[in-house]
């Protein structure tokens, strides 16, 4: 058995091609390789929008016009520094921010959390240069993210000198406000009972 192939004509813009039509070119007249679109252009070469220099083989931009930068896809997008506050960058230029849950930066006096601008960060977070950052574990309010920077604690945890603890440490006793220090004569204490340091003895709840 024999297979017969019929030769077809390339498009008039092609030097060589894979198939007929303007998108089948492999090389163009003049020895220039066609772009990824398979098209040959009558003029030198058409780069993507806002692109002043690009590769012929892949149509990827290597230099953008003023005010534009190359993104990870090789496209020219407007430089975010060119946009005003309240705008974001697109391939078409600067567009106004309209979705309140897509913020990347907030106006002065507000903090960003979950891409939203808020006046107060809320329980378990603290404000850090316009960003809401989480407190240490078990802190309800805090000055920073360290364990010793708590201001108040979540339920069932007691506040003691900046820490949130399951139980009060030695030398303190439990109250509704957290752990408070015992009298300086006491080694351990509670609201009702005291355990004195060895050099002192208890008498009717007083140290002697």
Q: Write the pLDDT tens digit of every residue in 145-184.
A: 998 899 998 888 888 888 888 888 777 887 766 788 887 7
What pLDDT shows up at residue 34? Answer: 60
Which residue would you say has higher pLDDT here, 194 or 167? 167
Domain boundary assignment for the chain: 1-44, 120-207
| Local structure of 208: helix, strand or coil | coil
Paired residues of 128 in beta bridges: 131
For the 120-207 domain, the top CATH level (class) is mainly beta
Q: How high does pLDDT run on average in the chain?
A: 76
64-121 pLDDT per residue, tens: 888 888 887 778 887 777 778 888 777 677 788 887 788 888 888 899 999 899 999 9
Whether the model pTM is above 0.75: no
β-strand pairing of 125-128 with 51-54: unpaired
Three-state secondary structure along 51-78?
EEEECCCCCCEEEECCCEEECCCCCEEE
What pLDDT shows up at residue 200? Answer: 46
């Amino acid at each position: 058995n024999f297979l017969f192939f019929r030769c077809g004509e390339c498009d008039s813009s092609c030097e060589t091609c894979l198939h007929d039509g303007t998108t089948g070119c492999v090389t163009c007249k003049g020895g220039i390789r066609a772009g990824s679109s398979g098209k040959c252009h009558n003029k030198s070469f058409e780069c993507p929008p806002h692109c002043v220099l690009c590769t012929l083989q892949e149509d990827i931009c290597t230099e953008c016009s003023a005010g534009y930068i190359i993104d990870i896809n090789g496209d020219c997008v407007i430089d975010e520094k060119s946009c005003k506050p309240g705008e974001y960058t697109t391939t078409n230029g600067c567009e106004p921010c309209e979705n309140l849950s897509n913020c990347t930066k907030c106006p002065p006096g507000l903090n960003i959390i979950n891409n939203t601008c808020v006046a107060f960060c809320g329980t378990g977070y603290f404000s850090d240069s316009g960003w809401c950052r989480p407190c240490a574990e078990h802190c309800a309010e805090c000055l920073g993210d360290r364990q010793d920077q708590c201001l108040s604690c979540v339920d069932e945890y007691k506040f003691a000198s900046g820490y949130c603890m399951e139980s009060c440490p030695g030398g303190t006793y439990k109250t509704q406000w957290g752990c408070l220090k015992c009298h300086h004569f006491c080694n351990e204490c509670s609201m009702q009972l005291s355990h004195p340091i060895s050099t002192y003895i208890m008498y009717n709840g007083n140290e002697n």
